Structure 1
Amino acid sequence: MCNKKAAILFFVLLSLGVGALSGFFNMEAMSQYQALNQPPLSPPAWVFPVAWTILYILMGIGAGIVYCSDSNQKKGAMMLFFIQLVFNFCWSFFFFTLEWRFFALVWLLMLLVLVLAMTKKFGSISPLAAKLQVPYILWLCFAAYLNFGAWWLNR
């Protein structure tokens, strides 16, 4: 029997930890982001850590729910969760540290496809777990716009 509260806590902390590590390793390069030419609707810098904290919590809750399910699709769903978490972590490195803006955009679009696939799998196991990923999907679409704008305006 799975302890759902413990699983949710574990996956929330794991997701937040991945985000914190990404921020830590790319902190210096991230500070240069505000100096870039940015597209319209670019939010102020303080919005990003707030938004990502909320998104990591939601993705962790969804993963915890799926992990504790009895579904035979759980393994595939969790595999997609871990793969998208790796893609998520790597995007900051490509965009901020290496300044590979176009490559980061392509990477982000692949991340979006992974998250859509993960959400579909989550939905076949728990509609709630899937619904919790909707803000993440919307934010990734907005992030793709910002990434494209940063690449286009600074090439």
Structure 2
Amino acid sequence: MSVGAEPLLSRRSAIALLIALAVCFAASVIGGALTRPNLEWYATLTKPSFAPPNAVFPIVWPILYAMMAVAAWLVWRSGGDAGDKKTALVWFGIQLVINVLWSFAFFWMQSPSFGFGVIMVLLVAIVIAIVLFDRLSRPAALLLLPYLLWVCFATGLNFMIWVLNSGIDFSQAPS
């Protein structure tokens, strides 16, 4: 059943935005708690030349989480079908959980290979969320694109860290 869009300045809309921000930043806090104790391990890894300095991550991620929260809020307040909104927001939640799982896999488990497997699943979940968001709110879908691009970059970085630290010589072609 389609319902009208939630008024932008309603109390209910403001509470929904605060909830979206809280959920996204809770994922950030949990991911950070899994990451921080393992930064010394990360410092020992061989990284590709395109790896950004560590100072970049605490700047980029809060911006992305804020954009993600606004995107989820825009979908919530859209005038679309309630079932479609629920499906889109469930997929949004799934990708948030997978995002945290990546921090667990890569940093907590200190496993670039496990992290790579998780981040590949994360990419799929983000794309699904974007497609579902686009059906309800083009601005919401567009707000997730920088996140998708950053995770694509992170996927390449994760893969190269795995390769550079695996001890396997990928430059040798099999005979």
Structure 1 gaps of 5+ residues are: none
Cα RMSD over matched residues? 1.3
The one of 98, 105, 129 aligned to 1:87: 98
Give the stretch that moved more between structures: 35-44 or 23-32. Answer: 23-32
Residue type of the partner of 1:74? Answer: K
CA apart distance, 1:128: 0.3
Alpha-carbon contact 1:74-1:125 (below 8 Å) kept: yes
Q: Which residue of 2 aligns with 1:154?
A: 165
Structure 2 gaps of 5+ residues are: 1-5, 167-175
Alpha-carbon contact 1:22-1:92 (below 8 Å) kept: yes
Secondary structure at 1:38's aligned position in 2?
coil
CA apart distance, 1:69: 2.1
Find out whether 1:32 has 2:38 as its counterpart.
no
Find out whether 1:145 has 2:148 as its counterpart.
no
Q: Which residue of 2 aligns with 1:19?
A: 28
Question: TM-score normalised to the size of structure 2?
Answer: 0.84
Equivalents in 2 of 1:32, 1:86: separation in Å? 23
Alpha-carbon contact 1:34-1:45 (below 8 Å) kept: no
Aligned pairs for 1:90-105 (under 5 A) are 90-105=101-116
Residue type of the partner of 2:90? Answer: M
Find out whether 1:65 has 2:113 as its counterpart.
no
The one of 66, 72, 76 aligned to 2:87: 76
Equivalents in 1 of 2:97, 2:148: separation in Å? 16
The one of 130, 141, 145 aligned to 1:119: 130
Give the stretch that moved more between structures: 11-20 or 116-125. Answer: 11-20
Residue type of the partner of 2:153? Answer: F
| Ranges of 4+ aligned residues in structure 1 off by more than 6 Å | none
The structure that has the greater radius of gyration is 2
What are the superposed Cα offsets for residues 14-59 of structure 1, whole Å, 9 maximum, x if unpaired? 1012111221233111332122100121000011111111110000
Residue type of the partner of 2:127? Answer: L
Q: Which residue of 2 aligns with 1:135?
A: 146
Alpha-carbon contact 2:34-2:107 (below 8 Å) kept: no
CA apart distance, 1:9: 2.2
Alpha-carbon contact 1:9-1:61 (below 8 Å) kept: no
State the percentage of identical aligned residues.
35
Question: TM-score normalised to the size of structure 1?
Answer: 0.94
Alignment: residue pair count: 155
Q: Which residue of 1 aligns with 2:51?
A: 42
